[in-house]
Amino acid sequence: MKILNSWLNDFGSFGTDAEKLAEAMTSLGLAVESVTTVGTPVKGVVVAKVLRTERHPDAEKVHRVYVDAGDGKELHVWCGAFNMKSGDLIPLATLGTTMPDGRVITARGILGIESHGMLCSGTELGLTADADGILILPNNFKLGTDVFKALGIEQDRVFDLDVTRNRPDCNGYLGVARDLGARLGVKVAVPSGDKAKKGLARTLKVTIADKKRCARYNMTVMSGVEVGDSPSWIARRLANCGMRPINNVVDASNLVMLELNQPTHAFDADKVNNGFKIRCARAGETLLTLDGQVRTLQTDDLLICDGKDNAIGLAGVMGGASTEISKQTKTVALETAWFESSGVAKTATRLGLKSEASMRFERGVDPYGVDHAVSRFAALLRESCPNLVVHGGAADVKEKTLPPKQKVVALRVAQVNRILGPKLSAKAISAMLAKIGFVTKSTSSAKLATLKIAVPSWRPDCETEIDLVEEVARHYGYENLGKIVPQSTMHGRLSPLQQRRRDIREVVLSMGLSEAMPNPFLAPGDLVKAGLPEDNAIRLANPLVYEESVLRTSLRPGLLKAVSFNISHRASKISLFELGHVYPSGSENSPEGLPDEYESLCLFAAGETSSLALDWWSQISSVMGFGAQLDQSSVEPGYHPKRSATLRRGKQVLGCVGEIDPRVLAQNQINTSVACLELNLSVLLAESPRIATAKAVSRFPRSDFDLAFTVPNSQSAGAVMKALRQAGGSELVDLELFDVYRGAGLPDNSRSLTFRLCLQASDRTLTDAEVTAIRQKCLDAAAKLGALLRN
């Protein structure tokens, strides 16, 4: 909502201190997004008369205009606009004038012919928002006078307000003025209505068929209308508030809407057949609206029809073309109505027809502001139509569905203070609310003070006690409510789970991986390109673009893209991780009907192999305080089938470790191996780490020895280790695989594994015989797995 300072002053003496006004409006919740200065006079622009115009054979886009600037001399000006004719008065920027855009007018012309000034459009002079050629001035202006003086334009300011949804009344000057008046102690007056005597009764019959959607419909007939341009002050006000002046009838309607937040619609009464009927559309019914479009309607679109049931307007949204005001219009039928908000919203949204009127009906208009709006419209139209007759006998149908004139809401003084903080008295609260038209009807006993507050009809947003509490807060001033830091009755901390998540992050960062945040939306096919199934992925019902229409079920597709992107930019040492949610579809009977969303952690390093991925896992596993079994027999799709493993802990799958499937790499234009570790954090973090119990450190010497085995490739090192560990029993305190050798001197399809074993007892020195016995047990156990001691 744009508020013009000078116009606001029509409602009360608010003054011109723009900074003070802006601050007051902001502190009331009418956020001032910008303050712009308009109508700053441009010195050197005078009223001139067009004497004649002439084309030049070598100039296509401009013509020659000869003007008289009041001294009887003929001046020649080149001009690119063609909307003037001989005799028109136009603004001439004389030589040396500095235009608002900084240009200085010089005599330099074209084709060697000088130009003695420049003819100006409204935009060029900062008078109007859009240019419609050269500004044509009223005929009665005196030649040679300053254009701004002649127009009576003074510097003014426009406040652009961001009016929130809960303040429908502030979509009109009156609502803004009321709030501001209460804050600044300025008395507010409603602009005066039409004072002329009513003419003979002329009634157009109104029938409301849908009483829920239309609860009030006033139809007033006004004759003696002469359609033409509005007086310049009306046109200027509209233009400064961002509305295009059209003609005096439409402009009066718009001005009333801006002032009182009451949209009206003027029909050409002679084009309306036999009265009005308000009903919902029949499916498929069509209407040619004012903007020249044929609208196909649905049964919940509310229509204004004539007495013959032909649609002539879309209620609250846009009028029909058939009854539009034209130059020939002599009699106006003015509709001033109250339409139910959600219905208007639905129609406007569905048809993409958000108009100034529909926005206001959507937010809510004052059902009792109708009479004054009609009168104000007449007063404004009378400025340009001296013979205007407002006919008596206007139809004004009010249905029972019309909201009441006053809504009474109970407000407990104690509740105000409980929510806001300061100790306000019933009296203070009443006084504050009275300033904005909220009248205290009665007060119950002083002890349980409950005020009965009558909410005015222009505040449909105030329905419950808490709405009134907010009004008290606004007018008491948020800045006066104090600032107290509450003493938290909780202890601020990370939960153990959150702490562990941060620990894992730390480990991952310390291993040199940087954090990526790829888009969680994938293109159809991205999952397949990552070797993953797509049937458990959820699609967006209304994606922005097709390429972002699938929800990820794994972090891998995003990281594959990120790695590929960085490779294409020749980055070195690409190692990235992501910690984020994935959203595979869930089972049908999940408690809330939500997908199986979980938190995942995925680490990628280009040019690396599974040995690095395993190193990552062992680091993370040591910070978590528990390990997992490597299961190479079954691997998630998308992983290298022979170089990856599933991480299992009991029945749970913690994740996967290894390398990305070369086929997936090829599909993603990655020409090097990629090490990958993927963990289900929801499972991993849910597991609480065991708290280690201290064991006494052995004081007895240890015996270390190495065993080198020839082991067939089909037997895993892990299995051999497990067998050794079992055979070694409690005396085997440390076991390490420290060398793997493949090559000469070994049978085919086998490799040499060298283990270092460390034996130690907690209560004695092991004898040679004991060490030999344990060693033999280990050898036997290994032999069972086909691991034979090398010589």
Partner 1 sequence: MADQNSVESMSLAINAAKESAMSAIKNTADLAGLRALSADLNKKDSPLNSFKSEMGKLSSVDDKRSIGQLLNAAAGEIAAALETRTREFADNEIAARIEQESLDLTEFLVQRRRGHSHIVTQATQRLEDVFIGLGFQIAEGPEVETDFHNFEALNMPKSHPARSEFDTMFLEYGEPNSVLLRTHTSPVQIRVMKSWKPPIYAIMPGRVFRRDTPDATHMPVFHQIEGLVIDRGITFAHLAGTIEAFTKAFFGNEFTSRLRPSFFPFTEPSAEFDIRRADGEWIELGGCGMVHPNVLISGGIDPEEFSGFAFGFGIDRMAKERHKVEDIREMYTNDLRFLRQF
Smallest distance from partner 1 to CB 340, Å: 12
492 binds partner 1 per the rule CB under 8 A: yes
Cβ distance to partner 1 smaller for residue 29 or 658:
29
Report the phi/psi class of residue 758: left, alpha or beta, with left for phi > 0 and alpha for psi in -120 to 50.
beta
Give phi and psi for 744, each to the nearest 5: -55, 145
Q: Which of 57, 102, 352, 486 binds partner 1 (CB under 8 A)?
A: 486
Contact between 283 and partner 1 by CB under 8 A: the answer reads no
User: What whole-number distance in Å separates Cα of residue 791 and Cα of residue 784?
Assistant: 18
Q: Please state the closest distance from residue 583 (CB atom) to partner 1, in A.
A: 5
How many CA within 13 A on the CB side of residue 507? 19
User: Binding marks (x or -) toward partner 1, 549..568, rule CB under 8 A?
Assistant: --x---------xx--xx--
**What DSSP designation does 321 have?**
G
Contacts of 769 (CB under 8 A, 6+ apart): none
Interface pick for partner 1 out of 482, 650, 743, 747 (rule CB under 8 A): 482
Q: Which is nearer to partner 1, 107 or 571 (CB)?
A: 571
CA separation for the pair 511, 386 (Å, rounded): 86
Q: How far is the CB of 105 from partner 1 (least distance, A)?
A: 38
CB-side neighbour CA atoms (13 Å) of 6: 16
Q: How far is the CB of 26 from partner 1 (least distance, A)?
A: 6
The minimum distance between CB 493 and partner 1, in angstroms, equals: 6
| 479 near partner 1, rule: CB under 8 A | yes
C-alpha pair distances (Å), 24 with each of 78, 177, 223, 259, 658: 48, 11, 43, 20, 64
Q: What tokens does 357 get?
A: 């009127």
d(CA 603, CA 608): 12
Q: Which two tokens stand for residue 102?
A: 């900084």
Under DSSP, the state recorded for 324 is -
Interacting span for partner 1 (CB under 8 A) from 264-272, 487-495, 614-622, 703-711? 487-495
Is residue 325 within 8 A of residue 236, CB to CB? The reply is: no
Which of 510, 772 has the CB closer to partner 1?
510
First to last CA, the chain: 93
Our CB check for partner 1 shows the closer of 37 and 498 to be: 498
337-376 binders of partner 1 (CB under 8 A): 341-342, 345, 349, 362
Least distance to partner 1 from the beta carbon of 537, Å?
10
Q: In DSSP terms, which residues pair with 266 in a beta bridge?
A: 334
Which pairing describes strands 276-280 and 439-443: parallel, antiparallel, or unpaired? unpaired
Q: Which pair of structure tokens corresponds to residue 465?
A: 């006690």
Using the minimum distance from each CB to partner 1, give the nearer residue, 458 or 577: 577
Cα–Cα distance, 286 to 482 (Å, whole number): 58
- Among residues 27 and 203, whose Cβ is nearest to partner 1? 27
Does residue 448 belong to the site contacting partner 1 (CB under 8 A)?
no
**448, 544, 691, 769: which one binds partner 1 (CB under 8 A):** 544
Phi, psi of 579 (to 5 degrees): -125, 110
Nearest to 334 by CA among 390, 277, 397, 407: 390
Q: Which is nearer to partner 1, 361 or 755 (CB)?
A: 361
Give whole-number Cα distances, 520 to 579, 614, 656, in Å: 12, 26, 20
* Position 140 contacts partner 1 (CB under 8 A): no
Q: How far apart are CB 519 and partner 1 at their closest, in Å?
A: 7
Which range binds partner 1 by CB under 8 A, 45-53, 367-375, 509-517, 740-748? 509-517
What's the longest Cα–Cα distance across the chain? 133
Q: Does 541 bind partner 1 (CB under 8 A)?
A: yes
CB 545 → partner 1: shortest distance, Å? Answer: 9
The b/e string for 697-735 (b: 16+ C-beta within 10 A; e otherwise) is: eeeeeebeeebbbbbeeebeeeebbebbeebbeebbeeb
**Does 24 engage in binding with partner 1 (CB under 8 A)?**
no
Q: Does 418 bind partner 1 (CB under 8 A)?
A: yes
Nearer to partner 1, 448 or 541 (CB): 541
Q: Which is nearer to partner 1, 109 or 520 (CB)?
A: 520
Site for partner 1 in 25-54 (CB under 8 A): 26-29, 31
Q: Least distance to partner 1 from the beta carbon of 159, Å?
A: 15
Q: Which is nearer to partner 1, 21 or 508 (CB)?
A: 508
Q: Whole-angstrom Cα distance, residue 164 to residue 170?
A: 9
Question: How many residues bind partner 1, per CB under 8 A?
Answer: 88
Interface positions, 79-138, toward partner 1 (CB under 8 A): none
Minimum CB distance to partner 1 smaller for 24 or for 380: 24
Q: Rank residues 71 and 588 by Cβ distance to partner 1 and give the closer one.
A: 588
Backbone angles phi, psi at 406, to 5 degrees: -135, 135
Nearer to partner 1, 18 or 721 (CB): 18
The single-letter DSSP state of residue 629 is E
> Under rule CB under 8 A, which residues in 565-624 are in contact with partner 1?
565-566, 569, 571, 574-577, 580-581, 583, 585, 592-595, 597
Kindly report the backbone phi and psi dihedral angles of residue 56, in degrees, each rounded to the nearest multiple of 5, phi listed first: -115, 130
Residues 510-539 within binding reach of partner 1 (CB under 8 A): 510-521, 538-539
- Alpha helices for 653-767 (secondary structure H): 662-667, 681-686, 717-728
| Residue closer to partner 1, measured from CB, 442 or 568 | 568
* Cβ closest to partner 1, residue 167 vs residue 279: 167
What DSSP string runs through 445-469?
A: -STT-EEEEEEETT-TT--SHHHHH
Candidate residues 167, 265, 295, 775; the one interacting with partner 1 per rule CB under 8 A: 167
Residues 6+ positions from 418 with CB-CB distance below 8 Å: none
Using CB under 8 A, which of 307, 543, 607, 641 touches partner 1? 543
CB of residue 477 vs partner 1: minimum separation in angstroms? 10
Q: How far is the CB of 606 from partner 1 (least distance, A)?
A: 10
Choose, by CB under 8 A, the member of 111, 466, 783, 789 that binds partner 1. Answer: 466
The window from 185-193, 240-248, 413-421, 689-697 that contacts partner 1 (CB under 8 A) reads 413-421
Candidate list 491, 695, 699, 742; residue touching partner 1; CB under 8 A:
491
Specify the DSSP class assigned to residue 642. Answer: T
C-alpha–C-alpha distance, residues 423 and 418, integer Å? 9
Rounded to 5 degrees, φ, ψ at 486 are -70, 145
Nearer to partner 1, 488 or 633 (CB): 488
Residue count of the chain, please give it. 791
Backbone torsions φ then ψ of 537, nearest 5 degrees: -90, 145
Site membership for partner 1, residue 686 (CB under 8 A): no
- 187-226 footprint of partner 1 as x/- string (CB under 8 A): ----------------------------------------
